[in-house]
């Protein structure tokens, strides 16, 4: 059974820090952003908005955007070479 890429990312990269979760307005990503400094915000989804997740791993900043926190984290997992096979 294949493993979930987000879970695998956290297991393979335990030092990965999710430092910021940001709600982006559909119209203006920089003006109307709503920032939460926590990786625990799985419930950040509002119609017409996207979510940006910022993570840091060994001095390298990674970011992912998606319709919710999970899809944004999947983008970060892809940058680390983890994905569905």
Structural domains counted in the chain: 1
Q: Note down the domain range covering 11.
A: 5-79
DSSP state of 53: E
Instruction: Decide if 17 is inside a domain.
Output: yes
Residue 64 has pLDDT above 90, yes or no: yes
The CA–CA distances, whole Å, from 63 to 1, 28, 33, 53 equal 28, 18, 15, 6
Question: 74 near 63, Cβ under 8 Å?
Answer: no
- pTM, entire model: 0.73
Residue 29 has pLDDT above 50, yes or no: no
Give the rounded percent of residues in the chain with a pLDDT score beyond 70: 71
Instruction: Decide if 32 is inside a domain.
Output: yes
Instruction: Decide if 84 is inside a domain.
Output: no
User: 11 versus 42: which is more confidently predicted?
Assistant: 11
């Amino acid at each position: 059974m294949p493993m979930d890429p987000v879970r695998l990312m956290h297991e393979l990269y335990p030092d990965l820090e999710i430092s910021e979760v940001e709600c982006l307005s559909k119209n203006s990503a920089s003006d109307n952003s709503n920032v939460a400094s926590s990786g625990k915000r799985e419930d950040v989804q509002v119609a017409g908005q996207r979510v940006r997740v910022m993570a840091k791993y060994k001095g390298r900043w990674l970011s992912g955007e998606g319709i919710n926190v999970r899809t944004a984290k999947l983008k970060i997992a892809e940058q680390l070479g983890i994905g569905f096979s």
